Amino acid sequence: NIFEKTQIFSPDLINLVVSLGNAEAAIFLVNMNKKSLNRKFKSLLRKSIFRLEKKGVFVEMKTPKNESLFSNNYQEEDIAKAICSSTDGTGRKILWIIRSKKPKGRYLAEFNLKTESGIEDLSLVETTSKEIRNFVSKIEEQDILITSEIPVSYAFWLLERAQSENEKLGITPPSGFTRARMLLSMDTWESKSSDFFIHPITNMIDIFSGDDERIHADILLKNKAFKSWFVDDQLIRPFLKPFIDSLNTNKENDKQKNNVDLEKIITNTANEIFENKDYVRKLISQLEENAYLYKLLDIKDFDRECFTLSKEMNSHESPPSFFIEMVRSTFIAWSKSLNEQKENRKEE
């Protein structure tokens, strides 16, 4: 549970597992490799599995054919695969769809989507099975985004919702979207839901009850999927000056009183911004999207925490602790940025 919540690992623990030298140890390492999101840890795990193989202990590391991203099906069958990134604080995510069609024709499409803004950009290339495997390997090895293979039907649900958002805003989808629909055979797939207001995660998990142990907002915001979750610039800017002024004034005052004053500014700011229901609705959608990704990655409790937060954001009159922590981290990020700018000007 500690590993699943924090992704913290110990090389000594891995060495201890390898020293067991049996099939159970290998299975344990393979399972951790599947769940880990840390590139360095995954590298250590693969080396440890190789050490066991040198001792004569072998475990199949590949996922089943119907789940594998690296399957030779790219060469043999008429298939489609989809991969999606986590949703960042601005509502942006990247969706990749891979389509291999008989007797030839392998396509890789990349869609840049933004919650409630639709499809911002796309690219579509015809490629080879080898290039697709190399590309997918790079996605898995990168350590910037959380990504997961997703059901193709969900990928097309995301695209249909994004197209609907484009139409609602009176924005034409990017050039090439119609061609992408045709080459990816999107019209032949049934989406998860025809209702874009109900995310598929709603029917997959339950919210936390009052007795359940929750994940602290600070821990959640430190997770890779939430590291860029800051309050939108145009919403936080009106409150920056009071916060910065309070920081500067407080240097000479009583420390305890300083902390109380700063907490009051943070809480009042959170309360005012939380009144912006359009912005809150956007955050709810983003939380649902990340809950879905966590569910697919089998990162226990994080999926339920995100889904529970989405429900709390929708039903509470006052902001939950998660939103207050978002405001706090945004203030801190702005404060650091302004201080760095001052230091750079001094050096000039």
Task: Tell me the pLDDT tens digit for each residue of 171-204.
Answer: 988 888 888 877 776 655 555 455 677 898 988 8
What are 267-318's pLDDT values in tens digits?
999 999 999 999 999 999 999 999 999 999 888 789 999 999 999 998 888 8
Q: In this structure, how many other beta carbons lie within 10 angstroms of the beta carbon of residue 37?
A: 18
Residues 6+ apart with CB under 8 A from 301: 1, 4, 5, 215
Contact present, 304 and 208 (Cβ < 8 Å): yes
Within 8 A by CB and 6+ apart from 254, the residues are none
Phi, psi (degrees; rounded to nearest 5) at 122: -155, 155
Cis amide leading into 103 (omega within 30): yes
Residue with token string 């623990």: 13
Report in angstroms the alpha-carbon separations of 61 from 7, 27, 29, 46: 20, 9, 10, 10
Q: pTM for the whole thing?
A: 0.74
